Chains A and B, each alone.
Chain A
Amino acid sequence: MELKIRKNGDVYIIDVNGEMDLYNSYKLKELVMKMLEKNVKIFIINLEQVDYIDSSGIGALIYICSTIKKMNLKLSIANIHGSVKKVIELTKLMGYFPISNSVEEALLMVKE
């Protein structure tokens, strides 16, 4: 799994590339925690290049989402598709996560 950060104004977009599984999901969690330490306030997690997620990956997203909610900061998760979407639907968390269909839509969502 590869993680790349790009910036759009004060929004930090994390592009995730690869599989969010039991061996590497912690990397995304660690990256977001480091960014929080550096006072990043607005996040977009782009899952366009993620075709596989398991319960550890969902767990990482839950942890990130609940931490950011508690701190009253902003997050949107963009481009959930395919089996990733199916797994999130099976856990019934589609309504829990702040989801957007594209990075553009996510930018509008976090800037509201």
Chain B
Amino acid sequence: MEQEEIKELRSDDNDPLFDKTNMLCKIFPSDFRQIRYFTLLIVQSAPTEIKELNLLEQQISEVIKNAVKHGNHCDINKKVTVWYSFSPTHAHLIVQDEGEGFKDIEKWNDFNRKRLECLHRQNFEELTNYVSFRTKQSDDQDGGNALFAALEYWNGGFVYNGKRNAVAMLKKFQQKRHGVNIDGE
């Protein structure tokens, strides 16, 4: 049977994505109302050559939201620290909160495996049970699907630190040839 590659969340303090050399840094209070604004402050330093900047913005916003809401429980006194570095060929970020860490990584991986099995079998009826990952803390506003997309989007890695209160991620963009856009847009 054809096996799809199963991407998993993992935690590893020694992952090279946690190397902060030459990265810029911004610190934000955990103000839920300002998540998209904070995200824009980060994304504005991304070069305009990056295609689909609003997809990059959306993916960064999800990670900052997780830090503000699930990590720091919107406690305005707790900070979210974002290290970032952009070029036309990459986006590298580390987002750290002051929370207890994402305890449910194993549960999430198990849930995601079942979700991918349903997708592989095209069993959309059973998939209904695996479209949204919920924890005791989840509320109606939580989509429960941000990390499914994150694992796909961050093609250079998406990894938590040992304490699981920081996540490092890398997106590699296809380089355009000098003066020529390969996609012909």
State the A residues within 8 Å of B (CB). Answer: 21-23, 25-26, 29, 51-60, 62, 66, 69, 83, 86-87, 90-93, 95-96
CB < 8 Å: which of A22, A26, A66, A83 contacts B54?
A83
Bound CA span A83–B142, Å: 20
* 25 A-B contacts (beta carbon < 8 Å): A22-B36, A22-B61, A26-B141, A52-B58, A53-B58, A54-B65, A55-B62, A55-B144, A55-B145, A55-B146, A55-B149, A56-B142, A57-B143, A58-B145, A59-B132, A59-B142, A66-B128, A66-B131, A69-B128, A83-B52, A90-B148, A92-B119, A93-B131, A93-B145, A95-B119
Could you tell me which residues of chain B, from 126 to 153, have a CB within 8 Å of some CB in chain A? 127-128, 131-132, 140-146, 148-149, 152-153
From B35, B54, B143, name the one whose CB has the most chain A CB atoms within 10 angstroms.
B143
Q: Is the CB of A22 within 8 A of B124?
A: no
Count of chain B residues with Cβ under 8 Å from any Cβ of A?
A: 29
Instruction: Closest B residue to A86 by CB, please name it.
Output: B55
Q: Is the CB of A59 within 8 A of B144?
A: yes
Could you tell me which residues of chain B, from 45 to 80, have a CB within 8 Å of some CB in chain A? 52, 54-55, 58, 61-62, 65
Q: When A and B form their complex, what is the total count of cross-chain residue pairs whose Cβ atoms lie within 8 Å?
A: 81
9 smallest CB-CB distances across A and B, nearest first, come from A59-B143, A55-B143, A55-B146, A90-B149, A90-B152, A83-B55, A91-B148, A56-B143, A91-B149
What is the CB-to-nearest-CB distance from A104 to chain B, in angstroms, rounded to a whole number?
25
Interface of B is mostly: helix
Interface of A is mostly: helix
Q: Is the CB of A58 within 8 A of B54?
A: no
From B33, B131, B153, name the one whose CB has the most chain A CB atoms within 10 angstroms.
B131
The answer to whether the Cβ of B122 comes within 8 Å of any Cβ in the partner chain is yes
Q: Is the CB of A95 within 8 A of B124?
A: yes
Q: Is the CB of B124 within 8 A of A87?
A: no
Q: Is the CB of A54 within 8 A of B61?
A: yes
Q: A22-B65, A22-B141, A23-B36 are in contact. List 10 more A-B contacts (CB 8 A).
A: A54-B65, A55-B146, A58-B143, A59-B145, A60-B143, A62-B132, A66-B131, A90-B152, A91-B148, A95-B124
